[in-house]
Structure 1
Amino acid sequence: MTTPVVVCGRSGRMAGLIADAVSREPDLHLTARLSTRPQPAADALAALADLDRDRPPVVVDFTAREATAALLVQARTVPCSLVIGTSGLGESETALLEEAGRHRAIVTAANFSVALLAVAGFVRDLSGRTDDSWDAGVLDIHFTGKRDRPSATARLLAAQWRTARTRRRGRPETGEEGAEEAPDIAAFRIGNAVSEHRILAAGPGEHVEVVHRVADRTAFLPGILQSVRFAAGAPPGLYSLEDVACERLPAALGP
């Protein structure tokens, strides 16, 4: 039996890529497109309530902050799982995610590149192994039209450095003390390239630089499709791409 999938957005670049990718997967079935516009197209649904409730779908959303918030409100009463990749979510949207995650399986990530998991792990490891003479910074480059700056990916990479550093020092990971450990982030919105993130770290006599560059949005598709399959069978909860890659479910559900 195939997994029903609904893709939010009718004209966005990511929405089109995701819909095409889902259509090519034999174990997935694109059942609908969900429009985020006030007047949806004739071949798109206007609300989750219009879906067939006999087979709860996985709803994939890479739209905009306001549309994602509206989707999460709708998901309170409509059975479904969610994969959320919308950038620039704020505190109110995070609260909606946490609320929905108590009743739905939700995979959410700042970046759905599986390769970025290795980059983030390296940054965390480097921070944990170096002493206080080392400092780090993040360079965040995106296309001109990207709304949020710094990007969620840049903040994620900075958080990896901060978390490992504060753990090594035995300090809290949140609050003012933890914030002191966060690397600076420099953000640029120029040209039409998809994204580039650089981690620069330096200590006495040595310098380390790691670059993650996305030249085509198709780089995100393997992580998205893997997340769809994961969300379809996962119990309620908020999951990261790392959870998906490791097939990590709540311990209480293990043997």
Structure 2
Amino acid sequence: MKIAVIGASGRMGQAVMTELAEQQLSCSAAIVAAGSKHVGKTVTQFAEQGLCFSDGSDLSAAEVDVFIDFSLPEALAHNLTLAQRLGAAIVVCTTGLTDAQRALITEAAQSVPVLYAANTSVGICVMEQLVALASAALPAADVEIVEAHHQAKRDAPSGTALVLAAAAANGRGEQLAKLNAGLRGAGQRRAGSIGFAVVRAADIIGEHQVLLAQPGERIELTHRVGDRKVFARGAVQAAQWLASQPTGYYGMRDMLDMKATLQRLIHEI
């Protein structure tokens, strides 16, 4: 399988390159922005193969089966166009997307396999299902989400926090847009709303907590990441799975077949 990494010089891009090398998987291209200082430099993890960073402009369809995209939101349109031009699948891991950019993903999924994941951790995918279940079982509970990341993270609340909030809203048969209170500020809490508290400090990789509270009791669901390898491993797993899927829009839960797992558990209960 020929895997190309977009945003290859960034934190997560480098983590993915390392994961590919450790799993002894091939990397057909390490793509960075045109004009980047990294263009033409050797990729350390694949130095023996002579792989160098490039802007991907000279890639052919024969060189790529699937892309893993850990670049910035402003590069999304270009990256999706590249995947469509080459007929390659693409795992989009970029967060902080606008509604218009999400629409581009949906459009691209009509011509190539696309998997969008604000968080490629398998644990977060499981937590998403637990949040939906808890929210449905406790329809009167207040829901609040607390997330923490490193000081350089650009978007707030995080894409993962928004995914977890959407899971809570879906558990109640609602759309997040109706319940989203944004970052909590001064003033009284609006009944039924879902708010966010955000921490940006030092080198925190990623922590998310969903609080469901009602008088006399509360449930706290927490996920913490101590190593970016978790995200890289999940992204590589997603890419390997997606490359053999038909055209369409997918998520991590599809790769993990969470729907079938939940149906089996509900049947057993």
Q: TM-score range by the shorter chain?
A: 0.7 to 0.9
Residues 189-231 of structure 1 show CA distances to partners (whole Å, capped at 9, x for unaligned) of: 1221111111111112112112111121111133212101111
TM norm structure 2: 0.81
Partners of 1:74 and 1:55 lie apart in 2 by 12
Query: 1:229 & 1:192 partners in 2: Cα distance?
Result: 30
Which of residues 193, 213, 221 is equivalent to 2:224? Answer: 213
Moved more, 91-100 or 72-81: 72-81
CA RMSD in angstroms comes to: 2.3
> Could you tell me whether the CA contact under 8 Å between 2:8 and 2:17 is conserved in 1?
no
Q: How does 1:119-138 map to 2 (within 5 A)?
A: 119-132=127-140, 134-138=141-145
For residue 33 of structure 2, the aligned residue among 3, 14, 36 is 36
Looking at structure 2, the residues matched to 69 and 217 of structure 1 have their Cα atoms a distance apart, in angstroms, of 26
- Following superposition of structure 1 onto structure 2, how do residues 40-51 of structure 1 map, counting pairs within 5 Å? 41-42=39-40, 43-47=52-56, 49-51=57-59
Counterpart of 1:196?
Answer: 207
Pair 1:225-2:233 in alignment: no
Q: Secondary structure at the match of 2:62?
A: coil
Which of 2, 16, 19 lines up with 1:18 in the alignment? 16
1:161–1:182 CA contact under 8 A, matched in 2: no
Runs of 4+ in structure 1 displaced over 6 angstroms?
Answer: 177-180
Deviation at 1:21, TM superposition (A): 1.3
- Aligned partner (choices 64, 68, 72) of residue 72 of structure 2: 64
1:99 matched to 2:99: no
Where 1:50 maps in the other structure, the secondary structure is: coil
Partner SS state of residue 229, structure 1: helix
Q: In 2, are the aligned partners of 1:9 and 1:15 still within 8 Å (CA)?
A: yes
Structure 1: where are the runs of 5+ without partners? 249-255
- The match for 2:168 is 161
Which residue does 1:251 correspond to in 2?
none
- Structure 2 runs not aligned, ≥5 long: 41-51, 182-190, 260-269
Q: Distance in 2 between matches of 1:113 and 1:173?
A: 24
Matched, 1:77 2:85: yes
Instruction: Tell me the matched-pair count.
Output: 239
Q: Distance in 2 between matches of 1:112 and 1:34?
A: 20
Give the 3 Å change call, closer, same or farther, for CA 175–188 of structure 1 in structure 2. closer
Q: Following superposition of structure 1 onto structure 2, how do residues 105-184 of structure 1 map, counting pairs within 5 Å?
A: 105-132=113-140, 134-165=141-172, 167=173, 173=175, 176=178, 181-184=192-195
Shift in Å, 1:174? 6.6
What do the CA deviations read for 1:56-112 (whole angstroms, capped 9, x no partner)?
421111111112232113333222110111111112221211111111111111111
User: How many Å separate the matches in 1 of 2:127 and 2:139?
Assistant: 20
Residues 147-206 of structure 1: CA deviation (Å, up to 9, x unaligned) = 0000011111111111112x2xxxx54764798844111112122111111111111211
Distance 1:236 1:247, change over 3 A: farther
Q: Distance in 2 between matches of 1:176 and 1:64?
A: 27
Aligned amino acid, residue 151 of structure 2: T
Equivalents in 2 of 1:204, 1:25: separation in Å? 49
Aligned twin of 1:253: none
Aligned residue type for 2:235: I
